[in-house]
Every structure is written in C-alpha cells, then in structure tokens.
Amino acid sequence: MISVSLVYNRKKVSGNTASIEVRITHARKSSYISTGVRVRKSEWRNGLIVNRPDSYELNDRLNHIVSNIQRIANEYIESGRALDVVAIKKKAWNMQTDDEQLEVYEWMQKQIPMLNLAPKTKNRYMILYDRIVEFGMFKTWDDVNADNLYEFDAWLHQRQSQDGRGMISDAGVYNYHKCFKALLNRAMRIGVIDANPYNRLRGEFKRGDQESFEYLTEDEMKAFEALRPVPGTVAAKARDLFVFQMYTGLSYSDAQAFNIRNYKLVDGRWRYNGKRIKTGVPYVSELLPPVIDVLERNGWKVPKIENGFYNKILKVLGMAAGIQTRFHSHLARHTFATWVLSKHVDIQNVAKMLGQKDIKTTQRYAKVLAESVHDDFERLGSQFDVSDTK
C-alpha cells in the first residue's frame, strides 16, 4: 500500500513559520515533496490550515497537490508497475534526473514566504510558483531568458483557468508576468541574476482588457437586500457582510478590519478618514442607513467570515435572490462604485470613497455605465418602426 499525507515542520525548525510537505510512504520508505506553503504553528490543526483569511485557498491548493500525487501513484498500481516513491516524486514535479538543478524553484520557495505582502497577494505568488513548476522551462537561472518568457506567455494563454471557465484572460496572464517580473527584480537586487530579462521586453506583454467587470443593478441590489436568511446562520452573516460592503465600497479585507471606534458621529452621521489595508491609500467613509441596519443587527460589528467560504455562500444567496450575476466579495465594491456614479456623485469623490489613488482606475466604472446607457438607447430605439422616422 502507498499512503500520501501532509506533514508540518518535519525538520522541527524554529522560527515564525514552517513548511508543509507531502509525505509519500510505501514499504516503510518515505519521500517528501515541499508544497511551497509555510504557516505558523497556530495556523495548522488536524491536517488543515486555519485562522487565516486565505485558509480556504491554501487548503484547496494542498488538496490539489495531494490529489495529483495520489493520481500518479494510482497510475502505477493500475499499470502493474512496481511502486517507486522517488519516481512518483519526480513525475509530480516534472523532474527528469536526481542531478538536475532546480535553482529557480528552490529560490522561489524560499523567497515567497518572506515577501512583506498581504496573505491574499502572497497567495498569488504561490499560484505563480505552481504555474512556473507546471510550465517546466524555468529550472535554472540560465533558463530565465526572453525566449522562454515568450514561451511562458503563449503557454499561459493556452492554459485553462483554475475554475475551469475557459482560457486565462489577457489580464490574468499579465498578472502572472507582473508577479514574475517583481520576483526577478528581487533576484537582481540581491545579486542572484545580473539582469531582469523583462526589462528587454518592455511593452511586449499587454495588460489586456480590464474595463469589463460585473456589478449589480439597483433592482438587483434591492432583491439581494430583501433576502432574510435565518438569524445567526452563516447565510445571514454573509448577506449582512455583502450589504455592508455594497453600501460602503470597502474591500473584503478593509470590511473585516472595520471598527466602529474609528468612526466619529458628526451631525448624526458616522464618518471616518482611514487608509486601505492593502495599498495604504487614504479613503473617506460614511455609514449609510443600510449599513447602520446591518451593524445594529450584529452588535455594531461586521460579521467575520473566511473569504473562500464567504464567496461560496454568496453564490447560493445570489441564486436565492434570482440574480444571474456571478457573486464574489469584490462584486459589492464594483456595485457600490457604479451605484454612486449613477447617482451623479463626482468621480473625484468616488475615487476618495474607494481609496483609489489613480483616477483612471475609477474612470472604468464611468465607462461601463456609459456603455450601459448606450445599450438602453438601443433597446429604446428598437421599439420604433424605422419607416415612422422617414
């Protein structure tokens, strides 16, 4: 029999965080594969990552790694071949020989956990690491060159997205390049490489179309607000958290950090000038009546829900409200932006509400609204008989 399991801090190292590894055991012989995930001792319990806002994503990633290794092991069993733990390990990581250097993989494994980034952002770098390993052409630093970057770009464009919804978008591919370029800049600063090949390719990898996004119409906002899940349930908490975000424009991380003590009651209005957790950009917040209603129902606190689980519950609530739009936590922020712009709030003020430093980021909401207006005109025009206008 072969067993595949997760092991935390196998080497009993001291420090703030330790590595999670996959252990493959057969005939009393074990081999280990690093997952690239490092967590604190308090964040590891009964084989699962807990007490982190990104725990769902990380557990899903670990489960994917274990399932992949188990699948390879099953292929050995079904083919009648003798089980070889070392061979399974090699195949799982796209290795060819024991002597082969894996400088880039090993460097990324060590550097990514040390990045001073928000957990969700750091997880993007871990996903990049998975893609780099899967691509398999950046094993040594000599492999990190312009030709292979072009190959990586083409490979990303042909790869299915993680949720199986189709190919990775241009914007998604660009974000992989953005993260990889940042890591290579780090490698250059500390003397690992002499030059970053991305610097020779300025403008080659386009950002892609990031203007399109989903948001709720005002009717859909009211339909969602009308939901009344059983009080105290996670569905009720998710409903209230989304309404809170929808009428404050706060991101998930900023909403989870909400504290009423930061707000001042001025002329009957709760107001706060703060800074966004992720970017540090200042923003202006004021609590509107739907937000007050949520807070009063929850003891003047915002419901705490792990982001991955929150997104799952939102999808169910969206269906219950009869809304076709795909729900996720950031949908509330998009909805707030388009809603306040539709109420003729000055775009400069909307940028301050959202904590967006670059007005161009806010302008994309206005562009989407303009497109919506043109669609409405088209529907109105279709009601007329063309012959009547001649």
Residue located via tokens 């509330």: 332
**Does residue 155 carry a pLDDT above 90?**
no
pTM of the model: 0.50
In whole numbers, what is the pLDDT of the chain averaged over residues?
A: 82
C-alpha 116/C-alpha 290 separation (Å) is 36
- Could you say which of 1.10.443.10, 3.40.50.1260, 3.90.950.20, 3.90.320.10 is the CATH number of the domain covering 218-380? 1.10.443.10
Q: pLDDT (tens digit, 9 = 90+) per residue, 258-284? A: 999 999 999 999 999 988 876 778 999
* Cα 20 from Cα 34, distance rounded (Å): 7
- Identify the top-confidence range among 3-7, 59-63, 115-119: 3-7
pLDDT at 80: 75
Rounded distance between C-alpha atoms, residue 223 and residue 70, angstroms = 45
Confidence of residue 92 (pLDDT cuts 50, 70, 90): low
Q: Quick one: pLDDT at residue 95?
A: 41
- Neighbouring residues of 334: CB distance < 8 A, sequence distance ≥ 6: 213, 214, 215, 365
Find the mean pLDDT for residues 223-232.
94
pLDDT at 202: 74
Integer CA distances (angstroms), 119 to 38, 63, 242, 376, 377, in order = 11, 19, 21, 41, 44
Return the pLDDT at 208: 57
Residue 145: the pLDDT is 83
**Residue boundaries of the structural domains of the chain:** 1-93, 100-210, 218-380
